[in-house]
Structure 1
Amino acid sequence: MNSLTIRILAGLLLGLALGATLGAVHPAFQAQLVGYAGALGGVWLDALRMTIIPLVFSLLVVGVAQAAGTVQTGGLAARALITFAVVLLTATTLTAIVAPALLNAWPAPAAAAEGLRRAAQGAAAGIPPVPPLGDWLKSFVPSNPIKAAADGAIASICVFALTFGLAASRLNETRRAHLFELFDAVQATMMVIVGWVLAIAPIGVFFLALVVGAQTGFGAVGVLGHYVIIVSLMCLMAGAFGLVMAVVGGRVPIGRLITALIPVEAMAVSTQSSLACLPVMLEATQQIGVSPRVRGVVMPMAVAVFRLTSPPGNLAVAIYVAHIYGIHLDPGRLAIGVVVASLVSLATVGVASSVTFFTTLVPISMAMGLPMDLLPLLLAVETLPDFSRTVGNVTAHVGVTAWANRWGKGGVADADPA
């Protein structure tokens, strides 16, 4: 757990404690203090929001162009990239079905959820209804991309960025290089600003948590615990795809697979880093018989871009926020969430985990028309479901590499000699 995470968590706990104390004592200045805290926390959140459109657009343009280049080269790398995209969409779609059903069967504590809604009073009031199917489909193609950006129409911006990136990949090498350098510089600049904003995240989270604590008391702790369990379950469900890919796709015996995965999962829990697990994952794929060529190509690619639990986990966060606010998510809004969550997860490769939470969740929330006031509080406890995210990711990395070993073969090769 890094120092920023510890400081954010401390800000959350201090804010909740002070807010709960104010709610119990009811001093004369309570309303004024809570009002100031809400305003200051809102300013911090707006400072974070202002980076999202240029950041997501520039990340998507560069990421899509690079992916297009990989596909054009063909071969094992291109097939792996296409497989990553299909599995990501499948796992995220399953989350869109399972998470709402799970929350209906096991809802958040009613009293605490009501307190959270009061703490962000009116935040959901301006959420527009999903338009008819024809209008909804038309909204994906922005007639005016500048206006779409100003309106925060993130789904339209993602489509435009995809189109722009694909078109840019067809330019000659000199023009393409200059254009990508520009957008790479834009995203790097936005990341600097995000770093500045996150540096004062403990203060922003403190103010927002104070408001929540004043409204809910310590009941917010129960809601956060419920949230951690729901999101962790969705991440582990996504990670189970890794087992399916290895056993069904790669024809790896389940006992052999579990034996090979034990040190991988132990490393994942202890480090919370897929990259740190790369050496043991390479060893695990050797144990289950993956050829050196396949594991040398597919495994590094998987670690770099195949974060299987990212879009399902992030969509689960958005669905949980909607649940707290009592917002009905119809199939159209969930479909938007699935697409944006999958795209943004591919675009934010290489971004630090403390930053990724916002660079992925804010676009998803904007696309689905959800309030974002609870995101800083959820960031403070993100380190807990992050265990499940990492476990699911490393399982998927090993699974997809085992599956790739069968492409063009009849089965898993014999293990390499020691």
Structure 2
Amino acid sequence: MDDTGDRAARAQSAEHQLVNVRLPAGWTLTGLIAGLLLGWALAGSATIDPILAITKPVGSLWLRALQVTIVPLVAALLVLGITQMAQAARAGAVARRMLSWIAVVLIFGGLVSAFVLPMLLSVFPPPASAAGILSASTGPAQEVPGIGAFVESLVAPNIVEAAANTSMLPLTLFFAVFALALVRLPAGQRDTMIQFFRALANTMLLIIGWVLWLAPVGVFALAMGVAAQSGGAAFATLAHYILVVAAMGFIVMLGGYVLAWVAGGINPLRFTRAMFPAQAVALSTQSSLASLPAMLVAAQRLGVRETTAEFVLPLAVAIFRSTSPAMNLAVAIYVAHLAGVTLTPLSLAAGIAVALVISVGSVSLPGSISFVVSIGPIALAMGVPVGPLALLVAVEMLPDIMRTVGNVTLDVAVTTAVDRTSKD
């Protein structure tokens, strides 16, 4: 099984050929805590204003450097991800069944956050003093148009202007259609275009990696301003945020048990026992790829045919992040709640649409980069300010545990469903 996992890892690496960016996640969290503590300690003192006069421009500059890479990186990753899925669909009936189940899971995740999270926030609201805390570093939110203007906005007459205005919904749809058209080109032209977008993605990943290496300084500067305004409430708000967002991932993971039971014919208790070792690996490594050998063992224990498991699981690791729509949309809804942004059904629909498409392009990226690339476009499409993401990226390492465990669980659940429907 280990040999199979190694072959799958090499195949995935050869397919994506994206640079491996290592980020100082621990130092970023340290910068957040230090900034909050220092801002809290100096709040109301005579020294805080001169310090904020320095830290505020530093934090703003770092945030702008983070935002400037979003559009080109999203475009490149979408093209790569969707072309890979389109090519996978041509692999045969098993691949098409797998992609159908993936679509069901991703749509389910988006609907979970859109309907459940607002109710959860009404029952389990943030701390009373949390309103506006995480929006301290934001600019004005974009307006979401009415239904007529919303439909018209789906197609941008000028894609360059749409990129300049960060109109993420028409941009996302354009590059999704662009990728589908690309796979129909002759092989030579298709490969040239894919190589171009792969090079663009690698270039943007290097730039965003450099920016995130400065995250401890940028997050420290932003956190000081937040704590100076809100005091110790920032700590309670961040803890509340982590629990609420992780809860959305947990609901999606539970959906994996239902999927394995209803579609895969696997008793939930049996599925739980078989999945525990793979979930333990996911918990310790926070990597779906590192958990692949354990997932193959779990599939074997569940009676999944070896041919199905060795085809579906590596492909699922390469193109499938089951918790992404639910947890990414949850972040945007949470920020909107704190910033006082009213989300309409249209804005939620726009968020779900972008979340579904963006999840295809964000696989196999480090958690911090995936956080920025995935949630930034969703927030922009929903008219939610993106400034708070610069602070929330510092604690992403904690919700990312839930993301990985949920992804690993759904990878195996989808494999059981594909195997059973293939037998039938």
TM (normalized to structure 2)? 0.92
Match 2:334 to one of 320, 337, 360: 320
1:21 aligns with 41
1:413 aligns with none
How far 1:384 sits from its partner (Å)? 1.5
Amino acid at match of 1:41: G
After superposition, the Cα gap between the structure-2 partners of 1:256 and 1:126, relative to the gap in structure 1 and judged at 3 Å, is closer
Q: Distance in 1 between matches of 2:374 and 2:82?
A: 16
Asked if 1:49 corresponds to 2:82, the answer is no
How far 1:126 sits from its partner (Å)? 4.6
Amino acid at match of 2:76: S
1:165 aligns with 179
Asked if 1:405 corresponds to 2:419, the answer is yes
Amino acid at match of 1:13: I
Identity of aligned residues (%): 42
Q: Distance in 1 between matches of 2:276 and 2:133?
A: 42
Q: Distance in 2 between matches of 1:352 and 1:3?
A: 8
Asked if 1:9 corresponds to 2:20, the answer is no
Match 1:175 to one of 160, 167, 189: 189
Q: Retained in 2: the 8 A contact 1:337–1:364? A: yes
Q: Distance in 2 between matches of 1:262 and 1:115?
A: 38
Q: Retained in 1: the 8 A contact 2:98–2:418? A: yes
How far 1:75 sits from its partner (Å)? 2.0
Asked if 1:369 corresponds to 2:383, the answer is yes
Gapped runs of 5+ residues in structure 1? 411-418
SS in 2 for 1:365: helix
Q: Distance in 1 between matches of 2:422 and 2:183?
A: 29
Q: Distance in 2 between matches of 1:360 and 1:3?
A: 17
Amino acid at match of 1:38: K
Match 2:105 to one of 83, 87, 92: 87
Amino acid at match of 1:362: G
Amino acid at match of 1:8: T
Asked if 1:306 corresponds to 2:320, the answer is yes
How far 1:72 sits from its partner (Å)? 3.0
Q: Retained in 2: the 8 A contact 1:52–1:359? A: yes
After superposition, the Cα gap between the structure-2 partners of 1:66 and 1:268, relative to the gap in structure 1 and judged at 3 Å, is closer
* Deviates most, 382-391 or 280-289: 382-391
Q: Retained in 2: the 8 A contact 1:113–1:223? A: no
How far 1:156 sits from its partner (Å)? 0.6
Asked if 1:390 corresponds to 2:390, the answer is no
Asked if 1:72 corresponds to 2:72, the answer is no
How far 1:127 sits from its partner (Å)? 3.1
Question: 1:287-302 counterparts in 2 under 5 A?
Answer: 287-302=301-316
How far 1:330 sits from its partner (Å)? 1.0
Q: Distance in 2 between matches of 1:355 and 1:81?
A: 25
Once the two structures are superposed, residues 35-83 of structure 1 have per-residue CA deviations (whole angstroms, 9 ceiling, x without a partner) of 3312210110101111111111111122222222222343212221232
SS in 2 for 1:185: helix
Once the two structures are superposed, residues 329-382 of structure 1 have per-residue CA deviations (whole angstroms, 9 ceiling, x without a partner) of 111101111111111111122222221111111111111111122112211111
Question: 1:140-219 counterparts in 2 under 5 A?
Answer: 140-219=154-233
Q: Distance in 1 between matches of 2:228 and 2:214?
A: 22
Q: Retained in 2: the 8 A contact 1:234–1:312? A: yes
Q: Distance in 2 between matches of 1:334 and 1:251?
A: 34
Gapped runs of 5+ residues in structure 2? 1-21
Give the superposed CA RMSD.
Answer: 1.5
Q: Retained in 2: the 8 A contact 1:116–1:215? A: no
2:142 aligns with 127
Q: Distance in 1 between matches of 2:175 and 2:139?
A: 28
Q: Distance in 1 between matches of 2:264 and 2:242?
A: 32
Q: Distance in 2 between matches of 1:265 and 1:360?
A: 24
Q: Distance in 1 between matches of 2:86 and 2:133?
A: 47
2:298 aligns with 284
1:103 aligns with 121
Match 2:372 to one of 358, 369, 380: 358
Amino acid at match of 1:330: T
How far 1:114 sits from its partner (Å)? 4.1
Amino acid at match of 1:299: L
* Deviates most, 272-281 or 10-19: 272-281
Amino acid at match of 1:229: L
Q: Retained in 1: the 8 A contact 2:335–2:388? A: yes
Match 1:31 to one of 21, 25, 49: 49
Q: Retained in 2: the 8 A contact 1:295–1:401? A: yes
After superposition, the Cα gap between the structure-2 partners of 1:303 and 1:115, relative to the gap in structure 1 and judged at 3 Å, is closer
Question: 1:341-356 counterparts in 2 under 5 A?
Answer: 341-356=355-370
After superposition, the Cα gap between the structure-2 partners of 1:345 and 1:3, relative to the gap in structure 1 and judged at 3 Å, is closer
How far 1:281 sits from its partner (Å)? 1.1
1:416 aligns with none
Asked if 1:334 corresponds to 2:348, the answer is yes
TM (normalized to structure 1)? 0.93
Q: Retained in 2: the 8 A contact 1:305–1:349? A: yes
How far 1:124 sits from its partner (Å)? 5.6
Q: Distance in 2 between matches of 1:207 and 1:376?
A: 11
How far 1:115 sits from its partner (Å)? 4.1
